[in-house]
Amino acid sequence: MQLSRIDLADLHAPKAIARAIFAQLGTIDAPVPVGQIARALDITDIKTQVFGGFEGMLLTDTVRSTGAILANTRYGNRRARFTIAHELGHFLMERHKLSGDTGFTCKAQDMREMRADKRHYRQEAEANAFAIDLLAPFKLFDPLLSQDPDLKDAQRLRDHLNISLEATIRRMIEHREECLAAVWSRNGRVRYSVKSGRFPWITCMRGERLPQLSLASQIVANNATGFSSVTETNPLAWLSRSDIELFEQTRMASNGHAVTLLLADLADADDDEDDSGLNELSMPTFR
């Protein structure tokens, strides 16, 4: 495989860099050969094994002449593939400032970072954006999506693209038009959640029990492994609003890990908000 970094030199946005790589690659089948791509772009060595204290590491200099990547396999090879892509993102985005004298050291939280308010957070979020654009391009992703959101799609995409289930669910939430969120839990306690921009605030916090009114709580209590159906649920189980039609679906694994997909239908709530402004035009309101 031959790729040229010259064509990437003036690009800084993660999506633009990934797009330029695929323009050089041409037609490609899943799973994306991230290791070959990295080596073709001056990554001289990639080590994948169990490491302690970090999820990924990029060894390079400030001018990015060459680089070496270490990827932790503690959580499996799919996670390691994402880590390699993440570190390659740091390597190619030359505006990213090294986190140490010898390059970048990234922890598990960095692989989920989405914030952009501080330089470190922004760099990690951009590396994550590049990684998912490289490993799950829409031309390979879209053909496996059903008409309606379904966690079974995420599992099929996981196997097809050879990336983690978490990564495919995040990609679904980002890409689909529906208003979606996902809540990851273990042994009935919330680990973290991700939502699309329009999805309302989720009231359950990290470390708390899954909401008692939720269907997910019942599924976990019954240890009902596998996929539940997509079922309408009480919105107050997850939200502070009762004017939203809400659906949930849970995938329960045998090790106590679960993920719950939430789908909010905001159409009726938006209509009510629009109407409320017409009832009394002379009445001042606060927004």
Question: pLDDT tens digit string along 77-125?
Answer: 999 999 999 999 999 999 999 998 899 999 998 998 888 889 899 999 9
pLDDT at residue number 270: 56
Model pLDDT, residue 66: 96
| 128 within 8 A of 111, measured Cβ to Cβ | yes
Q: Which CATH number fits domain 6-138: 1.20.1260, 3.90.550, 1.10.10, 1.10.1410?
A: 1.10.10
**Residues 136, 128: Cα–Cα separation, whole Å:** 12
Task: Enumerate the domain spans of the chain.
Answer: 6-138, 177-270
Residue 12: C-alpha distances to residues 113, 138, 172, 207 (Å): 18, 20, 24, 37
Question: CA 173 to CA 160: how far, in whole Å?
Answer: 18
Whether the Cβ atoms of residue 42 and residue 1 lie closer than 8 Å to each other:
no
Distance CA 285, CA 287 (A): 7
Quick one: pLDDT at residue 272?
A: 52
Q: Both tokens of residue 230?
A: 């997509």
DSSP-derived secondary structure for 125-157: HHHHHHHHHHHS-HHHHGGG--SS--HHHHHHH
Q: What's the topology of domain 177-270?
A: Beta-Lactamase (3.30.450)
Query: Positive or negative, the Cα torsion across 149, 248, 192, 50?
Result: negative
Q: Is the pTM of this model over 0.85?
A: yes
| pLDDT tens readout for residues 113-172 | 888 889 899 999 999 999 999 999 999 999 999 999 999 999 999 999 999 999 999 999
Averaged pLDDT, 266-281: 52
**Residue 202, pLDDT above cutoff 70:** yes
Query: Taking a C-beta distance cutoff of 8 angstroms, is the pair 99, 120 a contact?
Result: yes
Check whether 279 has a pLDDT greater than 60: no
